Amino acid sequence: MQTMQTMQTAKNIIEVNNLCKTFKIHKRATGFKGALKDIFHPTYERKKAVDNVSFSIHEGEMVGFIGPNGAGKSTTVKMLSGILYPDSGDIKVAGYIPYKQRKEYVANIGVVFGQKYQISWDLSPLDSFEVIRHIYRIPPKMYKENLERYTELLDMGGFIHQPVRQLSLGQRMRADIAAALLHSPKIVFFDEPTIGIDVVGKDKIRKFIRTLNQTDNITMIFTTHDMQDIEKTCERLIIIDDGKKLYDGSLETVKKGYGSSRIIEAEFESLPVSLDLPHAVVSDVENNALKKLIAFSTDEVGVNEVMTALMNTRNIKDVSIREPEIDAIIRDIYEGKIVMNGGGCHI
Amino acid sequence: MTRYLSFAVIKFRSKMAYRFDYVLGILDTLLAFVVYWSIYKALYAGAGEVDGVTFSMVTTSFLISLGLSAAFHKNEMFLQDKIKQGTIANELLKQVNFKLRMLFEDMGEGAFHVVFNFLPTAVIASFFAELKAPSGAVNVLLCLVSVILGYIVLWEISFIVQSWSFTLFSVWGLITIKNVLVNILAGAYIPMWFMPDWLRNVIRWTPFDAIYFTPVQLYLGELAGIEIAFHFARQICWIIVLGAVGEYFWRSGLKKLVVQGG
Amino acid sequence: MRDILSLFFAYAKSGLKSRFQYKLDAIVTTFAVFLREAGGIIAMYLALLKFDTINDWNIDELLFLFSLIFITYGIFIVFFMALRDFSDWIKHGDFDRVMLRPRGLLTQLVLCGADWLAALGHGTLGIVLFVISASRVGIQWNPAMAVYYIIAVISGVLIQGAIFLFFSSISFYVVETGSLKEIFYWNMRKFAIYPLSIYNRVIQSVLIFVVPFAFVNYFPAQFFLRKADMAAYPEWLMYISPVVGVMLYLLAYSFWRFSLRFYKSTGN
């Protein structure tokens, strides 16, 4: 394992070690007396937003950061992009220390906020691009090439001259992604890039992101709630909750690691139902006494055995087998139902 | 009626939620008074009276003007916001007269500013500024009547300007221009006594001196008998005329909204 | 320098373009700002028709005094508007974007945030006042005088810029700075428009030592006009506006640099 890590260091573009960030939260008192007291003796609560997080990412990797609201993923990404000072720990991205060398560093990255566009509301995307060209000092040739390429790949030809306020959410997002890429960044951060966009629009965006990653070898970091974003783009997943890293590894492993579990949904002909399944958990379905959910692990008991037991009741109307969905797996990880503690450097 | 009154009460209460604003509002009003007081103290430079107007009459008139400005405080972007947010259609479906509701909410806001900004300012000002007591109980009463009439006149002017929200992208500019005209021509920036005669003669034909100056004159007892009746009659005339104009703009605005499918 | 200028023009072009999406509104807004600011002056003009002078200042001298406030504010709003509204930038997360761009933070804030319509409203008013009064207040205009007027204007812009740079730095610690601005800038500005000498000692001290508006218009105007009421203050105060401007700005700038690390981006 040691050797594997040393081998990878050469290609690592992002390295984070023991990163910590604590926020002081002002607890507001209620009532007039409380408000007065607040002015003279404000009470604060300390919250560890990021708690000793370490990871590294190679050049060209696509990594999804997921976690519930307030888990610390945004704070991590903001420290990676140079917006926030860390309290302690080391960050090195593309050879820079983001918070110390902000101006030089940010020329190498692009950031897309799904809820906060950088293109102006009352201007056309092209007008905004023009300002961005000046800000990033993009050479004319590079600007022209990138603009033509993104216009084609993101299908912006039809609306690039229209004021942004007249565009659909999906069109706006595409224009904003182009804006973040005009200076050919090495690393791109996407914060909820498909939020509120319709299915077709989401698909266009994801396809573009995949293409770009394959052809240009751009490193991409996502934070998202939408598991589809991750499933359709990323190979690697970092799960953060309560400021701590819960999981860091491939998406496949998560699926496989949980892949041994199965759920059978059985509907019976009549009551009462008696089942004798020592290795499975039987639970009720709301509003339907005739339906039961039977959860088990294929490591402990075969599907065959369970099915036979069910058939033996001679009371079965219908049976279906469910495979666990990635959403459900993640939810279980947050809730501590699954503990990811495998040996390797990823699990 | 109680329903409309409750709009005023709710507005009053909601303004009370921002406690720091009390202090700020008092400071704001007080400083405005100090600026005027300092300017006119320097202008009078110890002179007993100018054109029969004493310094204490001037300071009193400014304080009354500030009280009226506090009472006239209102949310003048109300109609525009409702139209921009597209909620106007829903508002109109409610079993409430929209204009009356607006009026009462504004009165609630005005009452807040009088109680929490103006009254403390008046108390503080009375310690250092030369103020005149009202010339009698009847005058106070007459003054209050004319304040109410003046309030309605000003509210109707504001409503007319706001009703342009149906046509314009933003009425902020128009409202600002209107407020400048009101402040100068109605005598909030400079007492009517000191205006050049030609300007006073022009203002006589506008609704403006019915807003600030008539209450001031009544408080100081400068008007008598038939003059008072004449001033009230004028205020009422303006209420009728401006009310009709406002209603006309309001209706044609609504028609436009229906045509455009709002 | 050429690079900075081209960035400034790129921002200006896009800013104007987006404002002129609504042409009529832009014109009405500019005119409204002009009129709103002129309101107090018109009232003063009318009052002086009756009283002739205030502390021995006649109307032309007053207009000259006013011109400094409005011209400096007109220029201030071109360069410092983003700092004037900086707490909004933080609240809405716009400052994050500034940090993500490979340019100096203040460079971006100073170049990008111009409110051109308000600048036009205030600036035009200031210039009109200057043009009306400059030839009628007995100033022997020569190149040196003209240069000092320009220096006084720049100092006035710097002083107001520094005040807002202080407020902006405070926004890193407490988000809501609206009340501070209201008390220490807008309310003080109401006083500062008129000759300092009409106020009582406390207000005068505040305008000299705390929020030094006196160096934006009153003392520079005294340099040109030499009115009798200057006798109440040390004479050298007429000359030090540039020093006050530069010192205050440097002080505010170091406070800004120090405070940056406390920036808490408003998270989700």
The answer to whether residue A318 scores a pLDDT higher than 70 is yes
Q: Which two tokens stand for residue C21?
A: 């999406």
Subunits adjacent to chain C (3 or more Cβ pairs under 8 Å): A, B
**The pLDDT of residue B12 is above 90:** no
pLDDT at A4: 45
Identify whether C127 is part of a domain: yes
Handedness of CA C84, C88, C91, C97 (dihedral sign): negative
Nearest CA in chain A to C18: A122
Where residue A342 falls among pLDDT bands split at 50, 70, 90?
very low
Q: Does C6 touch chain A (CB under 8 A)?
A: yes
DSSP of A211-272, one letter per residue? HHHHHH--EEEEE-S-HHHHHHH-SEEEEEETTEEEEEEEHHHHHHHTTTEEEEEEEESSS-
Task: Tally the domains of chain C.
Answer: 1
What percent of chain C is modeled with pLDDT above 70?
99
Chain A nearest-CA distance from C117, in A, is: 16
Shortest Cα distance from C44 to chain A (angstroms)? 40
pTM of the prediction? Answer: 0.82
**CB contact at 8 A, B191 and B220:** no
Least confident of A110-119, A205-214, A251-260, B10-19: A251-260
Q: Determine the residue of chain A that is closest to C172 in CA distance.
A: A84
Residue C188 is assigned to a structural domain of this protein: yes
Beta-carbon contacts of B117 under 8 Å, excluding residues fewer than 6 positions away, are B22, B25, B26, B28, B29, B70
Q: Torsions phi, psi of A85, nearest 5?
A: -80, 135
Q: What is the pLDDT of residue C152?
A: 96
Looking at residue A7, what is its pLDDT?
Answer: 46
Strands (E), chain A: 12-27, 43-58, 62-66, 88-93, 109-113, 187-191, 219-223, 236-241, 244-250, 261-268, 281-285, 288-297, 316-322
First to last CA, chain B: 30
Distance from CA of C259 to the nearest CA of A (A): 12
∠ Cα A167 A171 A173 (to 5°): 115
Give me the mean pLDDT over the B97-122 stretch. 91
Q: Is C267 on the interface with A (CB under 8 A)?
A: yes
pLDDT for residue C57 is more than 70: yes
In this complex, is the C-beta atom of C108 within 8 Å of any C-beta atom belonging to chain A?
A: yes
Which residues on chain B are in Cβ contact (under 8 Å) with C187? 27-28, 31
pLDDT for the residue numbered A251: 80
Residue A80, pLDDT score: 93
Of A201-205, A227-231, B74-78, B116-120, least confident by mean pLDDT is A227-231
> With 0-12 CB in 10 A as exposed, 13-18 as middle and 19+ as buried, what is A217?
exposed
- Helix, strand, or coil here: C16? helix
Give residue-wise pLDDT tens across range A121-133.
889 999 999 999 9
Contacts of C20 in chain B (CB under 8 A): none
Number of B–C residue contacts, CB under 8 Å:
96
Contact C190 B173 (CB under 8 A): no
Is the Cβ pair C96, A113 closer than 8 Å?
A: yes
pLDDT at residue number A338: 58
Taking 3-state DSSP, the helix, strand and coil percentages for chain A, each rounded to the nearest 5, stand at: 35, 30, 35
Q: Tell me the ipTM for this assembly.
A: 0.87
Confidence label for C193 from pLDDT (cuts 50, 70 and 90): very high
Of A69, A131, A163, the CB nearest to C10: A131
Structural domain boundaries enclosing B100: 2-256
- Domain assignment of residue C124, yes or no: yes
Domain presence at residue C267: no
pLDDT over 60 at A135, yes or no: yes
Residues in chain C within 8 Å Cβ distance of A118 = 97
Subunits in contact with chain A (3 or more CB pairs closer than 8 Å): C
Residue C198's domain comprises 2-260
Flag whether C195 is in a domain. yes
Contact by Cβ (8 Å): A239, A245 = yes
Alpha carbon of C81: minimum distance to chain A alpha carbons (Å):
17
Q: What is the mean pLDDT of residues C67-88?
A: 93
Asked whether the beta carbons of residue C263 and residue A130 sit closer than 8 angstroms, the reply is no
Residue C195: alpha-carbon gap to chain centroid: 17
Q: Average of pLDDT values for A93-114?
A: 93
Mutation target for B interface from C19, C20, C24, C29: give the one with most B CBs within 10 A.
C29
Total structural domains within chain B: 1
Select the residue of C6, C14, C268 nearest A120 (Cβ to Cβ): C14
A15, amino acid identity: E
pLDDT band at A6 (very low <50, low <70, confident <90, very high): very low
Residue type (1 letter), A277: L
- List chain C residues with CB under 8 Å of A130: 10, 14
Has residue C38 been placed in a domain? Answer: yes
Instruction: Flag whether residue C246 sits within 8 Å of chain B, measured between CB atoms.
Output: no
User: Mutating which of C8, C18, C260, C263 best tests the A interface, going by the most A Cβ atoms within 10 A?
Assistant: C18
The rounded distance, in Å, linking the Cα atoms of A80 and A74 is 10
Helix (H) or strand (E) holding B50: strand B49-50
State yes or no: pLDDT of B172 exceeds 50: yes
Q: Find, in chain C, the residue whose alpha carbon is nearest to that of A23.
A: C264
Q: Flag whether B203 is in a domain.
A: yes
**Paired tokens of A305:** 């055995």
For residues C229-236, give the mean pLDDT. 94
How far is the alpha carbon of A8 from chain C, nearest alpha carbon, in Å? 28
- Residues 23-42 of chain C with CB under 8 A from chain B are 24-25, 28-29, 31-33, 35-36, 38-40, 42
A232-241, B22-31, B130-139, C152-161 — most confident range: C152-161
Angle at B240 between CA B236 and CA B246, to 5 degrees: 135
Binary contact (C187, B43; C-beta < 8 A): no
The reply to whether residue C267 touches residue A127, judged by beta carbons under 8 angstroms, is no
pLDDT at B144 over 80: yes
For A12-25, what is the mean pLDDT? Answer: 89
